[in-house]
Amino acid sequence: MNPGQLKDRLTFYEVIFDNGEEQLVERCKLWGQVKFKKNKFTDQQPEKSYQIIIRANKAIKPLMKALCQGKWYDIMAVDEGEPGYFILDCTLGYVHSLNDRCTVSRLQEVELASGETIHQPVVLMEQIPCELVKIDSGDTRQTDTTHNIRLLYKIHMETHRNIKIGDKIEVNHRGQTFRFTVKECFKYHTFQEVMAEIEGEA
């Protein structure tokens, strides 16, 4: 293979679990060639398959992630290609278009100058790519004088963002700002789904 064809700049990450939380650790940057392979169907859902060709490098292993031009790829297998080259079989890492941005805050103990300890929101992450999705209203709570509807949303984001129940998330979606409290979160292989209840809209 002509090395001049390796024109895609890739950053490779290893997934590390520390105390149950997923962390991405950058391992190396390499030149390669990203090629679309085929669509395959898993449980009736289309799944795009890709190949990445790189020079042989012992640091690259299955289950790592590669980032190229804003797209994430999950490395499923590492095979030898032409002499001196590896062929990486990959799937698209995050299947959603993460065009929104969010800020994540969490209540933490903060010590004041007076020595008093209080709990207040502390920003953990800013400008995180995400996708805000409105879903059906949740439980309806009705009394003799009030009729309250819980407005629930889904927020899709990358799996290495470690979100906890009770976190506050502020999402900028198409010029509007929405504020949420996290009620539930679940990590799939290709993305994370956060169930959140809206607090207000600005």
SS3 state of residue 7: coil
Q: How far apart are CA 44 and CA 58, in angstroms?
A: 35
pLDDT digits (tens, 9 = 90+) for 73-119: 999 999 999 999 999 999 887 666 788 999 999 999 888 888 888 88
> Which token pair is 46?
């289309």
Where does 2-116 show beta strands of DSSP type E? 8-18, 21-42, 45-55, 65-68, 71-80, 85-92, 100-111
pLDDT of 141 reads: 53
pLDDT of 71 reads: 86
> Which token pair is 147?
């009729």
pTM above 0.75, yes or no: no
